[in-house]
Chains A and B, each alone.
Chain A
Amino acid sequence: MKFKYYLFLAKKSFFHKKINIINVLLLAISMTIIVFAFSFSKTFNNIIENQISGNINSHILLIPNHSSTVNLSDVDNISFLTDFSFYIKYVQNENDEDISLIGVPSNYLKISSGKNFSDVTDKQVMICPSRFYLGSDSEVYDEAFLENIQDGKKYVNKSMHLLTQNYDKEYKIIGTYDVNKYTYGEFNVCFTRQSNIVDISNSELEYLKNECDSEKQNCEDISLSNTTVVIVDDVKKIDETKRQIEQKGYIVRYMSEVDTNFLNAITIVLLLLTSIILVVCFIIMILYNNKKVEYNKKNNLIYKAMGYDNKTLIKVNYLEVFILSIISELLCITFCFVIYKIISQNFAVDIKTGFQIYISYLAFIVGFVISLCVSILTVYLSINNNKNTLIEELSDGEI
């Protein structure tokens, strides 16, 4: 039989039955649920990725009561060491806007635009986030806050004065890092050379000592922190690194305690939830297919009376389910787009944590393939296993 006749029979079977409207909706909803289940998992995994792997605080071990002269050369997975005083400083710019400054080695940071420290010779340079919040109150999380978010790229090659006690220097922003990938739980975290942090620390110390002297107090206690900050490369191996340092006799603490058991449990729960949703959708698709095939049974038997064989009928039905799956997929994409727009408007990207909703595009393919495979299998089994005779099947005049 010519292909155009197959298409003719499939189109007639599909487009003229009201039941197919329900079938299309049911299938589209099943596919949409699959997409959202996958997307939810992907979003959560990305949160974990950003919050943990992308968060420098998760990479930090602290060795209290020891300066950074501790010998850890034979410990694996260490990116760099520094004294806590020379790790992070909280400064303001000339507009009284807060900036957190972290000192890192030259090529520690992956930049998203501009230059890295090793590309320039200037000392007072910094790499800042791809999205800046330059408002006075960084804790207020409202409409005004969102409006104040600036594109970090606008600040590349611009300068700002950084001020703290006894310190005022002009810094040039030479590049940006992707704030979705690196999160620090704070706004406006910029990175600079470690030597700058040392300078700021020493300035602060000098200021405090002068203040103390002028008030004629006991100034002996004023000193820099005596804690070593160890930054590890791979956050997944941080426990092993901690163990190796402890074996040398040091007491080691996490800067940011990550309950990996809890996170693993959440991941497993999400995986189970996604699997259950997949199975439920699978069952819905099988049930819908059985109903559809029941509906087509009489039709198929009349065709057999005219001399149509199983092979021809199967092909016609395959074409029909293919049309059905395509239309359902398009509807699913529309549903997902609309729902995503609604959700995105209500849960704007969280500048602070880098939270973002992700759509799993793979899920569209998975949903379509599952729908098609289930439909094809049900059609094949139903037509080949239908042993009823024409008279047994036909009880009224309609097909």
Chain B
Amino acid sequence: MLTSLLVIRSVNMSAIKIENIKKEYKLKKQSIFALDNISYDFEYGKMYAIMGHSGSGKTTLIQCLGTLDNVTEGKVFIENEDVFKMSPAKRNTIRNSKIGFIFQNYYLNNTMRAYENVMLPMLINKKFKKSNIKDIAIDTLKDLGLSERITHYPKELSGGEQQRVAIARAIVNNPKIILADEPVANLDEENEKFVLQKLKEMAQNGKCVIVVSHNPEIKKYADVIIDMKRGKFLDNEI
């Protein structure tokens, strides 16, 4: 029972915590708040769907959560560490080892084969210094049903296959946090279901999965749905 309690506690630990964050963009005559005083606690073991119309601040939010952009005000904690007080080197390490990004447009390197794209995050991770990273990359692709596409270039892959490669790249370092920005926007129904199911599985395996999307299909998979409008969270649903 004690072990179960410990498991439950670690599963429900705060992965990312945001406190009163604001992101201001200054234009010539006015300022725009892409994020307007948001506070939230994202936990491990859950899949979060952040939904809203274009311009609601979803993408800005996910950038700030992933330390790709600074906030104007407020704090962002990853596993209780204030990320914007860290050195750039430490932030890089966190992005590499604790966060996996999945983008709408995949952003694969067209000059590299599928397995080489997946290898990229491992090249700078000291954990894999003595490992055969090529084999690990190939195994990860096989787990995602891409055994026949390991040596193909992105241009030789369908949209769904490219997104699977992108997912493989995002999870190969075994990060605890997955941030996905419109991961299924360019996919057909079958691949959409596959990707969303995979993200769900990652959450069930203890990761904190945050997905930004305007696709209502995601509601079937998410544990928590957050609506955004004009830089603010509206309400939560479980």
CB within 8 Å of B: which residues of A? Answer: 1-2, 5, 8-9, 12-13, 15-17, 298-299, 302-309, 312, 389-391, 394, 396-399
Contact = CB atoms under 8 A, between A and B. Distances in A.
Contact of B112 (A2, A12, A390): A12
Interface of B: 59-60, 63, 66, 68-69, 88-89, 92-97, 101, 103, 105-112, 116, 120-121, 123-125, 129, 169, 186
Given A1-B124, A307-B96, A399 B68 contact: no
A301 B14 CA distance: 28
B124 A12 contact: no
A15 B110 CA distance: 12
A306 B107 contact: no
A309 B112 contact: no
A394 B101 CA distance: 14
Contacts of B129: 2
A12 B68 contact: no
Given A390-B63, A397-B107, A399-B109, A307 B68 contact: no
Contacts of B92: 304, 307-309
A12 to B, nearest CB: 5
Nearest to A9: B123
Contact of A389 (B63, B96, B106): B63
Nearest to B120: A306
Nearest to A303: B120
Contacts of A307: 92-97, 121, 124-125
The 4 closest A-B pairs by CB, nearest first: A307-B96, A397-B105, A16-B111, A307-B95
Nearest to B91: A307
Given A9-B123, A12-B116, A394-B105, A305 B68 contact: yes
Given A396-B105, A397-B105, A309 B68 contact: no
A37 to B, nearest CB: 36
Contacts of A389: 63, 68-69
B18 to A, nearest CB: 18
A305 B95 contact: yes
Contacts of B88: 309
